[in-house]
Chain A
Amino acid sequence: MRTADPPHAVTVEIPPVLAARRAGRRFGEHVALHPTTLEIADGEVIALLGPNGAGKSTLLALLAGGLEPTWGEIECRPGIRVGWTPQRPAHYGRLSPRENLELFAELEDEPDPSAAASSLLAEFELPDTRRASSSLSVGNRQRLNLAISMLGDPDVLLLDEPTASLDPPQRRRLWQSAVRQKERGGSVLFATQNHEELEGHADRVAVLVEGVLQFVGPFDEYERSGAVLLA
């Protein structure tokens, strides 16, 4: 793995907000992610790049706690809340968007689940009807998926190809949310295959190929290095 030198040599004493320590995952005989180390610092936005089947979703799921690592461990700073948007929408198809949001808000111990749901419905422009989520458009389902991950006011957002089904205005709004998250000191790790999304959004880039982390470094270093060819 090639690791670029940071632009300014600063010794960081603060532990990462979330980190994978030689964490890996095997599904049966197939190794989806070889032991991988990746740290996410406060206020940092990291782009996770890699072709299909590279292990991006597996790494995000491990960091989110949705999967248990076969090897290594996931470290999370105590008291940190993590929001996770899986690549495939993860909500109950026969519940309405509001019912989904209220249910997950209660599970996230939101003090006012109904108010939290109303706020997210407005923010993500989701229909507040009794319609089942399964009958929503693909884009709306993805927005609901994103909205659920915003519940509980997370300190770290893990987004798995979040813009895949969004139209351009929705993409803009998503990146605005990511910027707001960064501005208030939160961190974002997003997986993408779209190189255009890196510029202006990512502080660092990590490249995964066939379950192996091939590159981790600042965006400009990524551009200079040959890692761009790998992703």
Chain B
Amino acid sequence: MKRVLLLVQKDLRLLRRAPVLLATLVAYPIVITALVGLVAGYANAKPRVALVDEAGLPPTIVVGGERFDVAKTIRRVSKNVTLVRLSQADAHRQLRNGKVVAVVTVPHGFLSDLRGMLRSPQLELRTGRGGVSARVTQQVQALVYSLNRQLQSAFIRVNLDYVNALKNGATITFLGRKIDILGLERAERLLERLPPSRDRDQVLGFVHDARLALAQTDSAIRATANPIELVQVSERGRTWALSAQVQAYTLALTITFLTLILAAGALAAERDENVIGRLVRGLVGFGQLVAAKIALASVVALALGAAIAVAFGAIIEIGGIEGGEPWDRLPLLLLGVLLAGASLGALGALLGGLTREARTASLVALLVVLPIVFLGLVPSEIVPIAAWISDAFPFAHAVRLFGAALFDASPWGAVLREALWLGGLLVGFGLLARMAARRLVA
């Protein structure tokens, strides 16, 4: 144990004497986290969509007596996508070369269909290939849904006008022709004046039933148009940047980068410095050497993890942001960071032993860390195989452990499960690293 501590002290001293390296190692994963955040944030970015207006949309349209502000609707759509008005030829060319991700065409006859209210007017959506097209389709569907919601009241009112005309009688215009409608109410009164007969009573009964049925039409039509209504309530919770997921990812990503590269480089450096022979000739065993690098990774992970957790906690405290228990759960989180650091350190030591040279070890660790991190970021529901592979490395377990430790109401089950995973990986990678470390003296 004394020898392991001596080596850890020595490595920490060496690290302190390379401030540029240390600063780079700390800053790099934070920059990567920010970049990953930007990529994730791209989900909220505005893709470029072409609008081909063949119908010549006016600034306002009157449908069923209701005035619609077309310009305002387009402005609202522009919050989600960058809408550019193009000719059909231009739009299609830009779709093919990827300058726009979709083309929405308002075809000829759209306005007359809309005003006529007898046939559903059609918008045409053409999308390119790629991940964004599905999102654009959803956004255009949302636009059509929103337009339909605005139009439905006009359509309902027009339909109800027809129903009222049937009930009460009126003069209406239908397909450009004026039609006088007697109405059920007046028809009932006329029937009552006729001499009683079996036929008259039957027709009178039907008219009475029809009036009662049509009396319910108003609410029935409104309910049919909108079977389920979504009520949106804004909660004063954390912003995306301070969400549990981002905090857990930031912590895990930072310590993964740092510990993996550090442990790999530190073990291989013993050979670069030519001291490996001196050490293993009875002063320090291979197991102790690997244990020292694992301990180094744990200590550095703990220091950095604590700094990040305190920074997040302080921001949340100062900002008065609700949700999570940044201080109460700090000890549990730091235990998790220590374990994750050790597990990642063991993996790093394995890479250091295999590569045998500090520069190669650092480069290989950097090349290995990126796929490990990105595999851990892929949702398991979407690519199950990525999740299985990711389970063989500490990153995904660290993310889940940190997330549970920080934010789960009852974290113990998840924390224990992930801690067991990390412990198992620590032992597995540690044993492999011990075997690989022998290569350093070869």
Interface residues of A (CB under 8 A from B): 27, 61, 64-68, 82, 84, 86, 88-95, 99, 103-104, 106-108, 132, 148
Chain B interface category by residue count: 20 to 34
Tell me the dominant secondary structure on chain B's binding face: helix
B6 touches A107 (CB 8 A): yes
Question: For chains A and B in complex, what number of residue pairs have CB atoms within 8 angstroms?
Answer: 59
8 Å CB contact of A82 from B274, B280, B281: B281
How distant is A38 from chain B, measured CB to nearest CB, in Å?
17
| Known contacts A65-B280, A103-B6, A107-B284; A92/B275 CB under 8 A | yes
| Known contacts A27-B442, A67-B441, A68-B441; A106/B6 CB under 8 A | yes
A92 to B275, CA, bound (A): 7
How distant is A51 from chain B, measured CB to nearest CB, in Å?
22
Is B72 located at the chain interface by the 8 A CB criterion?
A: no
Among A88, A94, A108, A148, residue most surrounded by chain B Cβ atoms (within 10 Å): A94
B274 touches A103 (CB 8 A): no
Is B17 located at the chain interface by the 8 A CB criterion?
A: yes
Tell me the dominant secondary structure on chain A's binding face: loop
A90 touches B278 (CB 8 A): yes
| Known contacts A90-B273, A94-B14, A94-B17; A104/B278 CB under 8 A | yes
Q: Which residues on B sit within 8 Å (CB–CB) of A92?
A: 10, 14, 273, 275
Q: Which residues on B sit within 8 Å (CB–CB) of A64?
A: 277, 281
Q: Which residues on A sit within 8 Å (CB–CB) of B277?
A: 61, 64, 66-67, 84, 86, 90
A106 to B6, CA, bound (A): 8
User: Which B106-120 residues sit within 8 Å CB-CB of chain A?
Assistant: none
Q: Using an 8 Å CB-CB cutoff, how does the interface string of B349-375 with A read, 1 for contact, 0 for none?
A: 000000000000000000000000000
Other than the known A66-B277, A94-B17, what 4 A-B pairs have Cβ atoms closer than 8 Å?
A65-B280, A90-B277, A92-B10, A92-B273
A103 touches B10 (CB 8 A): yes
Interface residues of B (CB under 8 A from A): 2-3, 6, 10, 13-14, 17-18, 273-284, 438, 441-442
A91 touches B273 (CB 8 A): yes
B281 touches A94 (CB 8 A): no
A5 to B441, CA, bound (A): 37
